[in-house]
Amino acid sequence: MPRRRRAATAGLVFHVINRAAKRVVLFERHEDYAAFELVLVTALSKFELALFAYCLMPNHWHLVLSPQRDGALSRFMHWVTMTHARRWQTHRKLDGQGAVYQGRFKASAISEDDHFLRVCRYVERNALRAALVERAEHWQWSSLSRRVSTMETPWLAAWPVSPPVDWLTIVNVAQTAAELDALRRALARGEPIGNEAWRSDLAVRFGLRAPGKRGRPRLAICPGVLNK
């Protein structure tokens, strides 16, 4: 049987997530988060990707990035997860004690419009939504905290869509249940996040069934927040 043609992914933006196996806590101390950030930055120097946003949580992490070459996303993610898992196990003297991550990463393509901002908002307010901080920018292990601080972060790329001037206010506003459900559903299924025309075009490129044929829920957003 002939193999399905693989579509080019270079230039597409993706929301990527990976979780620890068996709800293991990946990051317990300041040093754990810093060690993963070092792995992330090192990987960015090895592979051709642009990192737009991220958030590290105790047992999982989110990235919003774009591979600049076909295949770069898989190579990048493999290197990051394998390198971090080996170092994590070695540091805890758990070599050979099973998988650190629950499996292959999950990724959803994102259109470069308001949907990109909606996903970045979801990612950058993760710690606030989990009640780990009182404001999203107070979570040190996120792109939002990096951007509002005076720290040099040359490894964070300029966004393809300019955020509103009141981005901090927007990120700190609670999302609707419909918005959260739509984003989580898309990521769980690996569905692209964008308007219907863009998703249909992507489906053609990847040789998939056109989205929305079975009542896929529309991606909602808190009225007036990003649609000003």
What pLDDT is stored for residue 97 in this prediction? 66
CATH architecture of 13-206: 2-Layer Sandwich (3.30)
Query: Across the beta sheet with 49-57, what order do the strands follow?
Result: 49-57, 60-67, 13-19, 106-110
Strand, coil or helix: what is 46?
A: helix
220: its two tokens: 């909602």
The pTM score is 0.86
Reported as a single tens digit per residue, the pLDDT across 38-56 is: 999 999 999 989 999 999 9
| Domain locations along the chain | 13-206
Q: Taking a C-beta distance cutoff of 8 angstroms, is the pair 17, 61 a contact? A: yes
**Spans of the chain below 50 pLDDT:** 1-6, 211-228
